[in-house]
Homo-oligomer: A and B are copies of this chain.
Amino acid sequence: MNQGWTERQRPVRLERRLEFADYEATRDFLDRAASLSERVGIYPDMSFGRTYVNITLHAEDDATALGEPLRHFAREIDALLATEKTLDE
């Protein structure tokens, strides 16, 4: 996974903040992330404004560790970003 991801406890989750050059790039990323969610059936909590997106991947309700499906989803987000204009690389 990209080192931009932060693993946190209580509750167990993965977080990443992304910055974009403009709203068009932000919206393009959100569209592609939405298609990914529909394809794999994982729906992160996302917050965004004009040029930022925060992604939070929560582990299953009483899980004590992040399962492979979430780690895989994080890597798929990284792959989306590899072809995107972000400001944080």
Q: Interface residues of A toward B: which range?
A: 10 to 19
| B46 and A47 contacting across the interface, CB-CB below 8 Å | yes
Interface residues as binary, A46-59 with B (CB distance below 8 Å gives 1, 0 otherwise)? 11111000000000
Say whether A61 faces chain B, with CB atoms less than 8 Å apart. Answer: no
Q: Closest Cβ of chain B: how far from A35's Cβ, in Å?
A: 9
* A interface with B by C-beta (< 8 Å): 23, 27, 30-31, 34, 37-38, 43-50
Cα–Cα, bound, A48→B30 (Å)? 11
- Taking a contact as CB atoms under 8 Å apart, the answer to whether A45 and B47 are in contact is yes
A23 touches B43 (CB 8 A): yes
> How far is it, in angstroms, between the C-alpha of A46 and the C-alpha of B49 when the chains are bound?
6
